[in-house]
Structure 1
């Protein structure tokens, strides 16, 4: 149930990101035309674009969780893969921050910039959540050494004292 609530929260963030990215100011709209960002011109295209990016991230995270849960991958390998994906998402966030301090992107409007920051942040949250909730392999309860000792045979009625 916790994962369903988490992914509902991610879905709400995707819709919010679509709304934010779809609302640049006049200079931002001109920039979308000049740089041919046709996938951000309307709300449905923006929503599909953001949904596809986050959907691929969720699919990658769930694939790693599945492989670890089924025992095809060891947990440390899953942690390394998810850590690398998390590092890539944080690097995207840093690159976005650097890009949006440049002159051309800094005049696109506050909502558009927040939407641009939100997408890599969503990816970082998805990979971080998958890393934190990676299944721990089930280890059977160890057998007691007492159970390995031979049991004394029960006395029978035929024995005499």
Structure 2
């Protein structure tokens, strides 16, 4: 149930991000036209774009979780893959922060900039959640060698 609630929260963040990315100021709208960001011009296109990006991230995280649960990959391999994906999402967030301090992007409006920051942050949250909740494989409790030995009281006289 926790995973369902988490992914409902992510879905709400996707809608919020789409709303924020769809509302640039006048300079931002001109920039969308100049740079041919046609996938951000209307709310439905923005929602589909953000949903696809986050959906692919969720699919990757769930695939790693599936491989670890089925024993195809060991847990450390899954942790490394998810850590690399998390690192890539954080690098995207840093690159977005650097890009939006430049003159052309810094005048696009506060909502548009917040939406641009929110998308890589959502990806980082998805990969971080998958990394943090990666299941520990069940190891059976070892049997005691004493249990297999017969005690003197168990021996019957013949």
> Could you say whether these structures have the same fold, taking a TM-score greater than 0.5 normalized by the shorter chain as the test?
yes
- Of 142-151 and 13-22, deviating more is 142-151
Deviation at 1:150, TM superposition (A): 2.8
- Offset, 1:142: 1.1
Report 1:140-155 matches (<5 A): 140-150=140-150, 152-154=154-156
Deviation at 1:146, TM superposition (A): 2.2
RMSD of aligned alpha carbons: 1.0
Q: TM-score, normalised by structure 1?
A: 0.94
Q: TM-score, normalised by structure 2?
A: 0.96
Structure 2 residues not aligned, in runs of 5+: none
| Aligned residue number for residue 82 of structure 2 | 82
Displacement of 1:154 after TM fit?
4.5
Distance, in Å, in 1 between the alignment partners of 2:4 and 2:155 is 55
Question: CA–CA distance in 2 between the matches of 1:25 and 1:154?
Answer: 93
Secondary structure (helix, strand or coil) at the match of 2:101 reads coil
Aligned to 1:136: 136
Structure 1 runs not aligned, ≥5 long: none
Match of 1:111 in 2: 111
Q: Which runs of 4+ in 1 moved over 6 A?
A: none
Question: CA separation in 1, counterparts of 2:147 and 2:49?
Answer: 60
Match of 2:142, SS state, is coil
Which residue of the partner structure matches residue 39 of structure 2?
A: 39
Q: How many aligned positions are there?
A: 156
Comparing 36-45 with 137-146, greater Cα deviation is found at 137-146
Aligned counterpart, 1:30: 30
